[in-house]
Amino acid sequence: MGIQAEPPEQTITLKERADYWVAIHEETGVGAQAPTRAAVLDELDLAVALHTNDATEPVADEDAVLRELGIDQAEVDGDQSLPAFMQE
């Protein structure tokens, strides 16, 4: 058996604002905000995982996620043109 190294320490700055909380992961500079302390820590965890390519949970139902985000899949599939600001 080899010696296992301790994981590096992680520092999070947590601030309460008037109507929301802000959390910043100091090592990556990634931040999140949410209405509660618990929610902002969950959001920060996801944001850091995405930033470090450590998000391993697959999306089981892509259509359900799009519906939850208010995105109409038919509109996305039907419009393959570039956004107006990208068109010449």
Q: Using one digit for the tens of pLDDT, what is the confidence trace for 2-38?
A: 677 787 788 999 999 999 999 999 999 999 999 999 9
Distances (CA, A) of 58 to 6, 29, 66, 78, 88: 28, 25, 14, 25, 37
0.85 exceeded by the pTM? no
The overall average pLDDT reported for the chain is 80
CATH top class, domain 12-79 = alpha beta
Domain boundaries, given as residue ranges, for the chain: 12-79
